[in-house]
Amino acid sequence: MPLQVTDYSWTQTEATVYIHVPLKGAKVGKVDILCTDEYLKVHYPPYLFEAFLHEPVDDDSSTAKVGNGVAVVSLAKRAHTMWKDLMITTYDKEKKKEVRERALLKYQEKLSSESRSKAEKRHAEKKYALETMMKLEKEERDSIQKMKDTEREKTTAELEAWQLRQTQKAEEDAPVKLHSQEDNRIKLKATTEKQENGCSDRRTVKLGHRGREAKCTKKQADLPAPRLAGNIRVTFTPRVFPTALRESRVQEEEEWLRKQAEARRAVNADAEELKDLKEEERNPDWLKAKGDKYFATGDYLSAVNAYNLAIRLNRKIPALYSNRAACHLKLRNLHKAIEDSSQALDLLTPPVDANAAARARAFVRRGSAFCQLQLYAEGLQDYQAALKTDPHNEALQADIQRIRDIIQGK
């Protein structure tokens, strides 16, 4: 039973009551003070001071200071009058108990209200921070788009100017080219007439001028021979991935291929508990196909069992974890869905084009589980990661907008 403190003192003004309670060597951190409009308690084990106040006070405006071996409580009066006594003069234990319980209930309601107000304030601050972040991101996107538009306009203007210069140059060169073609045609006609006249003279006179015939033959021999036709063989380096070599990350792609090959070889068929399985049941690919069929028919528990056995045989195939996460989502095993999706994403490294679709599915499944657990900020991050992998997916864009509306309270 606590010891009652009787050596307290109090003073008052028309607006305030000051109560000095000696702490008898107690540490500041161990002093518990509770105050309502009609009750005051100062507890520091094993001592207890409680006052059933004579008049109601404003507990919201009241204060308490602890230090130098004393607790000073300042109570703001509701009515600015002088009190005859500090406490009510009654020995009715039931009445005191009722006042004490009522004070405790009011104090608990006050704490609950403060807790709710703090939670609402934190929520408002988070909402404001999110809106500010989204606003900054939008401004940054607008700035980048503006820079792109400026560069595009500049490039378009330069291209139009270059085309104009080319057109003007072509118009200037056109008369010269026509004149050159006309000169060549006249020269060719004169040469032909000359050759015909020479040959006619030889046939008419019938003189044995072999020198002139040799000269004509020599002129014909000086003409260049026709060009030879042929084909040029072009070969390309064989590529496993569809991306161009200059845009491809060869090292990451080769690492992904190596990990896939190792995953196919890492079959744990020697486990003691798996020796009774049939030959096809020891094949993870066969079990995966079996689980996919169960999932398609809505038998999610059977699908989970098939994926479980496949994972026991081979723990390095990411599709097994991702598909099992989809089953857990249907069965509302949300934490297991998050765990399996995370495991699949760990195995889908390094990120390359070959596993982009699988990574997008894993991100969406984990994001959906987060959202169903009302962890919308984490879910939004996963959906944004999926959209980054598949930027033209309109369904993902719509889902992201719905999550943002939920976060903003729309």
d(CA 283, CA 289): 10
Residue 204 has a pLDDT of: 46
CA distances to 388, 405, 408 from 131, rounded to whole Å, are: 21, 11, 8
* Least confident span in 3-17, 65-79, 98-112, 230-244: 230-244
CATH hierarchy code of domain 250-266+316-408 = 1.25.40.10
Q: Which of 295, 290, 287, 253 is nearest to 267 (CA)?
A: 287
- In the predicted model, what is the mean pLDDT of the chain? 80
The per-residue pLDDT for 190 is 65
How confident is the model over 258-282, as pLDDT tens digits? Answer: 776 666 665 554 445 555 667 667 7
pLDDT at 69: 82
How far apart, in whole angstroms, are the C-alpha atoms of residue 344 and residue 288? 14
pLDDT digits (tens, 9 = 90+) for 294-320: 999 999 999 999 999 888 888 888 999
The answer to whether domain 3-89 and domain 250-266+316-408 are alike in fold is: no
Among 9-18, 60-69, 126-135, 221-230, name the one with the lowest average pLDDT. 221-230
pLDDT tens by residue, 314-349: 888 899 999 999 999 999 999 999 999 999 999 888
Instruction: With beta carbons less than 8 A apart as the criterion, state whether 245 and 237 touch.
Output: yes
SS3 (DSSP) at 47: strand
CATH number for the 3-89 domain, one of 2.60.40.790, 3.40.50.12780, 3.20.20.70, 3.40.50.720?
2.60.40.790
Q: Is residue 248's pLDDT more than 60?
A: no
Delimit the domains of the chain by residue range: 3-89, 121-207, 250-266+316-408
- The packing angle between helices 318-330 and 334-347, to 10°, is 160
- pLDDT of res. 242: 55
Tell me what the mean pLDDT of segment 85-89 comes to.
79
Distance CA 331, CA 308 (A): 15
User: Of 8-22, 29-43, 164-178, which has the strongest mean pLDDT?
Assistant: 8-22
Angle among Cα 178, 184, 189 to the nearest 5 degrees reads: 130
Is this prediction's pTM over 0.75? no
Sequence-ordered list of residues with C-beta below 8 angstroms from that of 79, at least 6 positions apart, any chain: 55
Look at 222 and 367; give whichever has higher pLDDT: 367
